[in-house]
Amino acid sequence: MSTTSHRARLSWTALAPSLVAGALWLLVAVVRWAFLQVPGGLTQVGTLVPDVVPLTVWQGPDAWPAVGAPLGALSVTACHALYASLAARGRPVTLVAAWFAAVAAGATVGLALDIAVTWDALAVYGARGLLIGDFGATAAAGALWGLATGWMPGLVAVRTVAADATVRGRPVWLLPVTGAALFVVIAGGVAGADARRADIAAQTEARQQAEALTSFGAPADPDAQGEPVPEAAPSSGTLDPQWCTADRATLLKGEPDGATGHRALAITLMNYSESACVIDGYPDVAFGDQNDHLLAVEVERGGSFMTTDPGPARIEIPAGGSAITYLGWDAASPHGALVTRTVYAAPTPGMTRGSWPIDLDIVEGSTVSITAWQLVTAPTAQ
């Protein structure tokens, strides 16, 4: 009975400096995190505390931060015990040996955390992940922590020796236990990073779904594939010299109108020159989506529920006069869809298109009817 009691007391006595080292490491990690949560000057004070735990550990979802930091502290305890026993070489642990063990333990656990962070960067960015971040920064911070605080476990070691001169070395199982602890730190860091990425992806998807229900059209996607809107449509022939070209006339967009699930939009061609110009047939229109790509819309010539097509005819627009055309389409739900964010138009195919930013519920796959030009004004008789 007395032998068993002595062995238990001896084990806990010998591990006291290492337990103190682990507790100090965890304290420094939590203090730095707490300082960084407070806005103002205390945040700057927090940057002076060694960053023994990477920010990615604290950013983990759910209980990962509460698990990751204590795992690191247990690994520091195991590493400190191992390094202290190696430095003591079978003799009682001295202040210098315990201090050195704190520096080595902080650097080792920091390196394990650096490996986990780098593994996460490789998973996200591939080989470029090696160039992202500062590999070894946490190891350096751990070594700095040991240099600044290692004297405290050292004092505990000195007092332990003074209290019990029989304390020598460490158990032989410290090496496999330390290796297992470091493996858990690395594996836990990788698993936490994976969980953080999955959590970010889930939050992003949820936010996009919520935005799709409340916003006009699907959110813009910078990685979306698509065709840019051409500057002009193919022309079927040469333009009449008297045509209403850009140096004589300009297009003006009206406001969309709607009734019983149907829509219409007027486009006016105004002759601002001092002489008449001519127009014939139908205008050229196209639509751009929220990704600045050509929206897949079928444009057909003719009338719709809200518009009437007068048919193509050669029209002479007098100076100061104008002609008008109407777009007509059926209303559609824009939620989560590719929608019209820009209307492009030209007086006739072959001319350079102008554009107007406008939100219309013309979605991918819609059919839009367009009427022929018709004269709407005439010069006032003098």
Instruction: Read off the pLDDT of residues 301-360 as tens digits, 9 standing for 90 and up.
Output: 999 999 999 999 999 999 999 999 999 999 988 887 899 999 999 999 989 999 999 999
Q: Is residue 281 part of a domain?
A: yes
> Do 94 and 165 belong to one domain?
yes
228 within a domain of the structure (yes/no): no
Q: Is residue 237 part of a domain?
A: no
Phi, psi of 266 (to 5 degrees): -95, 145
Is 177 found in the same domain as 302? no
Q: Which two tokens stand for residue 374?
A: 């018709």
Say if residue 136 is in the same domain as residue 255: no
Q: What is the CATH number of the domain that holds 308?
A: 2.60.40
165 within a domain of the structure (yes/no): yes
Q: How far is CA 139 from CA 88, 95, 103, 136, in A?
A: 23, 22, 10, 5
The reply to whether 154 and 272 lie within a common domain is no
111, 75 contact by CB (below 8 A):
no
Collect the ranges in the chain with pLDDT lower than 50.
1-10, 165-167, 379-382
Are both 270 and 334 inside the same structural domain? yes
Instruction: List the one residue out of 209, 216, 212 whose CA is nearest residue 336.
Output: 212
Q: Does the residue 146 lie in any domain?
A: yes
Range of the domain at 53: 2-212
For the segment 11-63, what is each residue's pLDDT rounded down to a tens digit?
Answer: 556 788 889 998 998 998 888 878 777 766 666 666 677 878 877 676 666 66
Quick one: 198 and 274 in the same domain? no
Q: Tell whether 267 and 200 lie within a shared domain.
A: no
- Please give the structure tokens belonging to residue 182: 């470091």
**CA distances for 262 relative to 49, 337, 360, 376, angstroms:** 65, 18, 12, 23
Domain endpoint, select from 183, 212, 241: 212
Average pLDDT of the chain, as a whole number: 82
The answer to the question of residue 224 being in a domain is no
Domain boundary pick from 184, 212, 240: 212
% residues pLDDT > 90 (the chain): 35
Are residues 198 and 105 part of one domain?
yes
The domain total for the chain is: 2
pTM value?
A: 0.51
- Distance from C-alpha of 20 to C-alpha of 63, rounded to nearest angstrom: 25
Is residue 51, in this structure, part of any structural domain at all?
yes
Q: What is the pLDDT of residue 379?
A: 45
Tell me: do 186 and 256 sit in the same domain: no
Both 265 and 153 in one domain: the answer is no
Do 368 and 287 share a structural domain? yes
Let me know whether 156 and 34 are in one domain: yes
For residues 146 and 103, is the Cβ–Cβ distance under 8 A?
yes
Per-residue pLDDT, 116: 82
Indicate whether 239 belongs to any domain.
no
Amino acid 40: pLDDT: 64
State residue 13's pLDDT score.
66
- Amino acid 323 reads A
